[in-house]
Structure 1
Amino acid sequence: MTSPSFPATPAPRPGGAGELAGRTVSRVGYGAMQLERLHGDRRAAVALLRHAVELGVDHVDTAQFYGDGFVNEVIREALTPEDDVLVVSKVGAVSDPGGPFPLRLAQRPEDLRTSVEDNLATLGLEQIPVVNLRRTDSGITIPVPDDQIVGLDDQLAEMIALRDEGKIGAIGLSSVTADILRRALPAGIVCVQNAYSLVARDDEDALRLCEAEQIAWVPYFPLGGALPGLAKVADEPAVLAAAERLGCTPAQVGLAWLLHHSPRTLLIPGTADTGHLEANLAVGAITLDDQTLATLDAVPTRPFQTLDGLKS
């Protein structure tokens, strides 16, 4: 690991204080998937992540299948124990560079264990603080082969065993319905990552359950439009009008709305660009008045579409 590099004084928490796995964290963290775009410039990837930490980021979302291990290796190089950054990874899929999709599902208990071991190796950790079980119940997913239809109870039993062994610190869920979340609550779920944005609010019931159970809600695709055919938050007239009035970007309005919409929301916007990183971390300072919130709340939600073999 690199030598520690600290700012003179601690940076303010981007977005204010939130909670994840029993820890106080900044409400705006960093989703590391986009670091894969810097595969040809590892030094730039490390520098970007260091800059995020210097600006107050203290939780980072990753996965072994991001860049087939490259992103985890960048995190290992960039972060030090003294940074005290909470690393969140996920299992349930693996890289498949030569396949019809960049990923393939790996849902069986033995696959989950192997994925945890792979994450531990590339991250250089003895324990991953939080690991999300990425299922296929909600949002968009790649096709599910018959041998990858696995019962929740079997998966949770393996995740609990991994936690008991000390290989993971806490269990989260991803791409799940409210019913699945409710079934999983006895396992001690600490966060839920679902595809969710101003224009894709199908999982509002899951969000409300997270609020009731004091579970962190961590939306991915927070601005929509991550895949062709999906509605984009930045295309909405109400968002464009709010951005012009507030003197910020439409993307910042979309992220600020998420923070305002629920106190349990933690953001993990990803980027490979320093300017975009700084803009994302600044959204906590954007105040949305009641009229603006009401106008944004009235934007219709669109169900996910079936896209090139991806299913809703």
Structure 2
Amino acid sequence: MPLDPRIAAFLDAHAAGPAMQDMPLEDFRAAIEAIVECCAPAAAVPVVKDLSVPGPAGPVPVRLYHPRPGTVLPIVVYFHGGGWMTGSIDHMDPVCRNLAEETEAVVLNTGYRLAPEHPFPAALDDARAVTAWAAANGASFGGDAARLAVAGDSAGANLATVVAALARDTGGPRIAHQLLICPALDTAMDTESYRELADGYGCTHDLMRLCWRTYLGMPEESFRDAPWQAVPMRAPDLTGLPPATVLTMEYDPLRDEGEAYARRLAAAGVPVDVTRCLGLIHCALHIEGVAPRAGRVRELAVGALRSAFALTAVPVSGTAVLQE
């Protein structure tokens, strides 16, 4: 499908300024925060609380959304994108409000530590701490720890899948589902989608190089030495992971690695559904206010989580990429 014309206009409007990878860090972070203005209108969730969850290096800020006070609901621990360098609870607020309301789940919007001030494994350690806390304390905030999902977009999806893998390896907590939107999974950056979409679609090859260098705290020539816990495409064993939903965008350099990871999950016997969203770019989740078609990402995410929480039996694994 051709690029959605409203998204093309959005990209053109931002093309006149400096590329994000060339911005000072504070400007890069401000640019990512500003995308909140492009989101769909935020749902008026009745219970929204800012919390501090104990973490390995101090409190981790979390914003909790409970859409049905007095009802015990499933839990979604959400990790924002932003290349491990940018993004925040406020940046994710409209998306998480809508996710909570439409999924009918308690959502924990997690403000993990960012690089370069805190390179790997700081973000992962915080993500794991919040997930463990959610599982142990669900009853205190109206959450059902037996129906606990991890979710994220881009860098946050990287954290979600590694949290799920380490929960398997360390005896818990039990995770019912992993929702991975535009996941950043591999430092190789050599797929067909990276070659075809290297520039001009918001998320660029050069920007991803910067993000990986900053997160890993190493030059590109050393990427091969990074552990799989940072680069989950290298994980040696995917068996026994929670069922997964992988959403990729047609005009996203990360598209092919997300779909390749889904194929690896299926080959390992993990139930997985993968959808390529046509006509959309990497940040589609955040620009529904610009291009209504981008709302398809939210609809698919909500549908996946509602189905996962309703399941009483393990679904049959699948590998097909559904092109809408």
* TM > 0.5 fold call: no
TM-score by length of 2: 0.33
TM-score by length of 1: 0.34
Which has a greater percent of strand? 2
